[in-house]
Chains A and B, each alone.
Chain A
Amino acid sequence: DGGITQSPKYLFRKEGQNVTLSCEQNLNHDAMYWYRQDPGQGLRLIYYSQIVNDFQKGDIAEGYSVSREKKESFPLTVTSAQKNPTAFYLCASSIASSTRRDGYTFGSGTRLTVV
């Protein structure tokens, strides 16, 4: 069955360390997204990519970086510049031409904790 795989499920980061969250999909979707979820704040868009080798900043991109070298993969790096990285991170994907109508498919998330 097709879906989105996020790994790891739990990740611990030391102060000043960069960490990379993996997101892989086999749905043949063009567009991919990273959202951050904090209690009581819903989901906030970090980055999105409509096509390979192209991506755009979302509402809270500072302290994060992404790459889109393959259609299937959209890794997120949380850099040391992100001052409050503890959160639940969700990756999603969609068919670019019908995103507005059809919505997203989500992965099961990665919980990042700073120790």
Chain B
Amino acid sequence: AQSVTQPDIHITVSEGASLELRCNYSYGATPYLFWYVQSPGQGLQLLLKYFSGDTLVQGIKGFEAEFKRSQSSFNLRKPSVHWSDAAEYFCAVGAGTGGFKTIFGAGTRLFVKA
């Protein structure tokens, strides 16, 4: 079955420290992968996406993600976290014909401590 797993429900990092959020997917074909961010009470904003080519993709707000086919992973990273990065992060895979049934992970909430 197609699925997206985010193993960490929440993560706390110190401001200025590096960040890695984990994402594993299960999908039969070549995956189209996304990371979205959600601030409290708001909608989701697309951070970055991968569908082919270079396995290290750059996104907005200084985030990057690396696609590893052998590990079925698409982990999100940031070298230095800012307090404004505190939010919930969702990994997703474009599923269904045309990608109209995107599957989302359960999310990882990021807390940033001063």
A residues near B, CB below 8 A?
4, 6, 31, 33, 35, 40-43, 45, 48, 50, 56, 58-59, 90, 92, 94, 96, 99-109, 111
Complex CA distance for A45 and B105, rounded to whole angstroms: 12
With both beta carbons as reference points, the residue of chain B lying nearest to A58 in the complex is identified as B101
B residues 5-56 with Cβ under 8 Å of A?
A: 9, 32, 34, 36, 41-46, 49, 51
Q: What residues of A have a CB within 8 angstroms of the CB of B49 in the complex?
A: 101-103
Q: What residues of A have a CB within 8 angstroms of the CB of B107 in the complex?
A: 40, 42
A31 touches B100 (CB 8 A): yes
Number of B residues near A (Cβ < 8 Å) is 25
B43 touches A109 (CB 8 A): yes
B101 touches A103 (CB 8 A): no
A109 touches B41 (CB 8 A): yes
CB of B106 within 8 A of chain A? yes
Q: What residues of A have a CB within 8 angstroms of the CB of B90 in the complex?
A: 42-43
B94 touches A103 (CB 8 A): yes
With both beta carbons as reference points, the residue of chain B lying nearest to A90 in the complex is identified as B43
Complex CA distance for A94 and B94, rounded to whole angstroms: 12
A100 touches B42 (CB 8 A): no
Q: What residues of B have a CB within 8 angstroms of the CB of A108 in the complex?
A: 41-43
B106 touches A106 (CB 8 A): no
The 6 closest A-B pairs by CB, nearest first: A100-B99, A106-B43, A100-B94, A99-B99, A43-B104, A42-B106
B residues 83-114 with Cβ under 8 Å of A?
A: 90, 92, 94, 98-102, 104-107
Q: What residues of A have a CB within 8 angstroms of the CB of B51 in the complex?
A: 100-101
A99 touches B94 (CB 8 A): yes
B32 touches A101 (CB 8 A): yes
With both beta carbons as reference points, the residue of chain A lying nearest to B44 in the complex is identified as A106
Complex CA distance for A100 and B51, rounded to whole angstroms: 8
B100 touches A99 (CB 8 A): yes
Q: What residues of A have a CB within 8 angstroms of the CB of B102 in the complex?
A: 45, 99, 103-104
Q: What residues of A have a CB within 8 angstroms of the CB of B45 in the complex?
A: 106
Q: What residues of B have a CB within 8 angstroms of the CB of A100 in the complex?
A: 32, 51, 94, 98-99
